[in-house]
């Protein structure tokens, strides 16, 4: 009996190929290394951590977790709502195992998570679950008004005790602020792009050149 008929995976998603995983990790490390030395970051440190006296070493602050990927549908082995419906979609079956180019358009840091925003193409959006943003509404009410795909991200690290799913909520919060017309306080032009501050320890670096990342649409049984 094929595995897919006996159980559903932990999640479906795009898994970055090994070479590009290294590149993205390096880019993220460079960003964190620079961010915590900026005067602007130090100025807003009390928004970032309660231990206001101390300096923060962001590379230590966030823990990396597993292979880099962009989750499409979290199935929890079938226990998550809509898991079976997603797995049964013809497009999911058709594109399973196919290669994609993801566009990483921004990096963001909050006191909870560090992640990369993934800007999905029309083709990629066909694999995006219709309720992904709606699921976030209890935590991020404004997510209801954001377009499909807004939650798409790659978790690059989480602070101690924080669940990876938080990364998508943190991204949605920043995008909701942008939509309300809050541009963020432009802090500085960095080599990688422009850095803006959105309050409450939330930082967004819009990449000058989006990073194109080869990825395979697949699933993890874990
Ligand atoms: P992430 O996509 O934000 O990194 C395994 O836990 C993977 O599934 C992680 O990558 C995690 O977060 C994602 N995940 C866990 N719980 C989730 C949930 N309730 N909704 C969406 N994604 C979830």
Q: Does the annotation count 69 as an active-site position?
A: yes
Tell me the β-bridge partners of 189.
Answer: 194
Catalytic residue among 13, 35, 36, 69: 69
Nearest atom within ligand 1 for CA of residue 164: 12
Q: 56 CB less than 6 Å from ligand 1? A: no
pTM score, whole prediction: 0.95
Of 9, 11, 157, the residue with max ligand 1 atoms within 8 A of its CB, to mutate for a pocket test, comes to 11
pLDDT number for residue 101 = 98
Q: How, if at all, do strands 62-63 and 153-159 pair?
A: antiparallel
pLDDT number for residue 136 = 97
Closest residue by CA, ligand 1 atom 21: 74
Tell me how long the chain is: 222
Decide if 212 contacts 102 (C-beta within 8 A). yes
Q: 165 CB less than 6 Å from ligand 1? A: yes
Closest residue by CA, ligand 1 atom 16: 165
Mean pLDDT, 10 residues at a time, over the chain (222 residues)? 70 97 96 95 89 81 93 96 97 98 98 98 97 96 96 97 96 95 85 95 97 98 87
Q: Does the annotation count 44 as an active-site position?
A: no
* 3 state DSSP class of 152: coil
Number of Cβ within a 10 Å radius of residue 38: 15
Give dist(CA 178, CA 180) in Å, integer: 5
Distinct helix (H) and strand (E) counts, the chain: 9, 9
């Amino acid at each position: 009996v094929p595995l897919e008929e006996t159980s559903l995976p932990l999640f479906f998603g795009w898994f970055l190929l090994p070479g590009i995983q290294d590149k993205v990790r390096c880019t993220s490390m460079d960003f964190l290394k620079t961010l915590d030395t900026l005067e602007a970051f130090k100025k807003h440190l009390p928004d970032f951590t309660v231990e206001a006296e101390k300096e923060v070493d962001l590379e230590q602050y966030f823990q990396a977790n597993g292979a880099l990927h962009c989750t499409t549908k979290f199935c929890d082995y079938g226990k998550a709502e809509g898991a079976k419906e997603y797995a049964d979609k013809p497009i999911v079956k058709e594109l399973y195992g196919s290669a994609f180019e993801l566009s990483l358009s921004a990096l963001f840091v909050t006191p909870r998570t560090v992640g990369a925003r993934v800007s999905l193409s029309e083709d990629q959006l066909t694999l995006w679950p219709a309720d992904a943003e709606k699921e976030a509404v209890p935590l991020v009410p404004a997510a209801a008004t954001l377009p499909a795909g807004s939650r798409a991200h790659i978790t690059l690290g989480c602070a101690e005790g924080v669940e990876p799913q938080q990364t998508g909520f943190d991204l949605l919060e920043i995008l909701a602020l942008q939509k309300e017309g809050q541009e963020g306080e432009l802090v500085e032009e960095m080599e990688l792009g422009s850095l803006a501050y959105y309050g409450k320890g939330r930082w967004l670096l819009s990449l000058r050149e989006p990073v194109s990342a080869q990825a395979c649409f697949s699933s993890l049984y874990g």
